[in-house]
Amino acid sequence: MSLPQRDVSPLAGQLEQTLTAGRLPSEVSGWGSQLLRRLRQPVQVAVAGAAGSGKSALIDMLLGRVVIGRNGRGLLVDVCHGAQEMVEVETAAGERLQIPGLLAQMELPQDARRVRQTLPDPRLRWHSYRELPLSGPQAAQHEMLQQAASNADIILWCSQEFAADEQSLWATVPDSSKDHSFLVLTMADRQVMRGTLPALIETLEPIAAEEFLGVYPVAAIQGLTARTAEAPQDGLWRSSGGKQLAGDLQRQVDLGRASDVDQAELLIRQFGGSSLAETAPAVPAPAPAPANAAATKAASLAAALDQLQSGAEMMLAEAEAAGGPQAGPVLAQCMEMIRNLSQSLDAMPASAAVEAAREAAQDGEEMLMLCQLEQDEDAAVDAVTLLIQLKKELMEEPPG
């Protein structure tokens, strides 16, 4: 699910229409507006850490060219999509300047406070970066981090060793942000030289498993070299740790987008009214089944998948009638549907595809269990989204 990404503006337009026409019941209108905001702006990736922790180098590596260089010292830097390479500078005196070119190549005013770099890089349409330097007293850092967590969709925490003071700072970040964040061990080449990397990873892995999506050692200078070399250096790109981080980050961006799109489609189908519902991009209908043995099982799977879809929609309608999603019953129904699906799959003759579908259903079941740990509205929405996602996955590669 990488580039080219789907243009979501028609979907956002439909959602907006549904919202402004007042068709969304009050319990879900907050959810709808939040979705609309998310669909209309790129996924925000915050790159946070102490001064000199390697944030600029990491962003440059992910962009595949030197954009910030050494020039963003201590400044909040946004890197976003724009028609031209341009830097907007905000000074302490409140002045705003526009300077064409790349931050790395220019002289910034002494009192620059914030910088916004625009680039005509199409990838930045989908996700933008913010370098967020943390400095000063712990309380001030805490404040900055809280704010970053509420604005950013994904946080890359940059650190050479994620020491105790950073751990206590990170502990205050809400779980919803931790679930979308990466611990990046920067300047990993230095740890490799000292022979300290394996022990450090071993120490941090249990913490990272709780607090982040994972721990990613990265040698950013080497990663950037690999990407800017005349001949592509895939080996170096991989061994720098850059490839793994960039791949997993892209997946996280895509997952967030796909979940927003699914939820928006669901809201439009439910509440958009008939004219909108018809034009809403619907989940593809299962292909008509030819009459033979293989087709019978395809049809039974299609029936199971259809059940997932209609069940999910029914739950939403019931939730509306009950005056808001009731986490408990919704989760229980999702669980039942996914178990039914597993049973249908178990009844089918074995094949690699059926096996893959079974695994997907099992993963889904495990994720649902996790959803059940938090019995709230978010968990219910996550569970329904999961079912729809699972259906889509299975539709793409029908077993049999």
Ligand X SMILES: Nc1nc2c(ncn2[C@@H]2O[C@H](COP(=O)(O)OP(=O)(O)O)[C@@H](O)[C@H]2O)c(=O)[nH]1
The H or E element spanning position 134 is strand 127-134
Contact in structure between 117 and 131 (CB atoms under 8 Å): no
Q: Minimum CB separation from Mg ion for residue 204, in Å?
A: 23
In one letter, which amino acid is 334? C
d(CA 167, CA 395): 42
* Contact window for Mg ion (CB under 5 A) among 11-19, 49-57, 146-154, 243-251: 49-57
Q: Minimum CB separation from Mg ion for residue 69, in Å?
A: 9
d(CA 185, CA 173): 19
Q: Minimum CB separation from ligand X for residue 129, in Å?
A: 12
Regarding 12 and contact with ligand X (CB under 6 A), the answer is no
- The neighbour count for residue 24, using CB atoms within 10 Å, is 22
* Contact window for Mg ion (CB under 5 A) among 55-63, 101-109, 203-211, 284-292: 55-63
- Judged by CB under 5 A, the chain residues 66 through 95 that form the site for Mg ion are 72
Regarding 52 and contact with ligand X (CB under 6 A), the answer is yes
Nearer to Mg ion (CB atom), residue 72 or residue 217:
72
Contact in structure between 305 and 360 (CB atoms under 8 Å): no
Q: Which residue is nearest to Mg ion (CB)?
A: 56
* Of positions 56, 71, 333, 344, contacts Mg ion by CB under 5 A: 56
d(CA 302, CA 288): 10
Q: Minimum CB separation from ligand X for residue 190, in Å?
A: 5
Q: Minimum CB separation from Mg ion for residue 347, in Å?
A: 58
Q: Minimum CB separation from ligand X for residue 90, in Å?
A: 18
* Of positions 1, 3, 21, 51, contacts ligand X by CB under 6 A: 51
Q: Minimum CB separation from ligand X for residue 259, in Å?
A: 31
Q: What is the DSSP letter of 4?
A: S
Residue holding tokens 């439909």?
Answer: 14
The H or E element spanning position 132 is strand 127-134
* Of positions 32, 35, 36, 49, contacts ligand X by CB under 6 A: 49
- The neighbour count for residue 284, using CB atoms within 10 Å, is 9
Regarding 330 and contact with ligand X (CB under 6 A), the answer is no
Q: Minimum CB separation from Mg ion for residue 73, in Å?
A: 6
Residue holding tokens 């699914």?
Answer: 262
Q: Which two three-digit tokens encode residue 41?
A: 């702006």
Angle between helix axes 327-346 and 377-396 (nearest 10 degrees) is: 20
Q: Which does 241 bind (CB under 5 to 8 A by kind): ligand X, Mg ion, none?
A: none
Q: Which two three-digit tokens encode residue 149?
A: 């967590």
Nearer to ligand X (CB atom), residue 156 or residue 261:
156
- Judged by CB under 6 A, the chain residues 55 through 84 that form the site for ligand X are 55-57, 70
Q: Which two three-digit tokens encode residue 172?
A: 């205050």
* Contact window for Mg ion (CB under 5 A) among 48-56, 167-175, 199-207, 231-239: 48-56
* Of positions 190, 251, 339, 375, contacts ligand X by CB under 6 A: 190
Q: Which two three-digit tokens encode residue 213?
A: 């999506």
* Of positions 189, 211, 260, 265, contacts ligand X by CB under 6 A: 189
Tell me the residue length of the chain: 400
Nearer to Mg ion (CB atom), residue 145 or residue 308:
145
Nearer to ligand X (CB atom), residue 70 or residue 339:
70
d(CA 237, CA 220): 10
Site string for ligand X, 211-230 (x = CB under 6 A): --------xxx---------
Backbone torsions φ then ψ of 3, nearest 5 degrees: -60, 155
* Contact window for Mg ion (CB under 5 A) among 54-62, 267-275, 297-305, 327-335: 54-62
Contact in structure between 43 and 257 (CB atoms under 8 Å): yes
Cβ neighbours of residue 286 closer than 8 Å, sequence gap 6 or more: 298, 299, 302, 305, 306, 395, 398
Nearer to ligand X (CB atom), residue 42 or residue 49:
49
Cis peptide before 4 (omega within 30 of 0): yes
Q: Minimum CB separation from ligand X for residue 188, in Å?
A: 7
Please give the residue ranges that form the binding site for ligand X (CB under 6 A). 49, 51-57, 70, 186-187, 189-190, 219-221
Please give the residue ranges that form the binding site for Mg ion (CB under 5 A). 55-56, 72
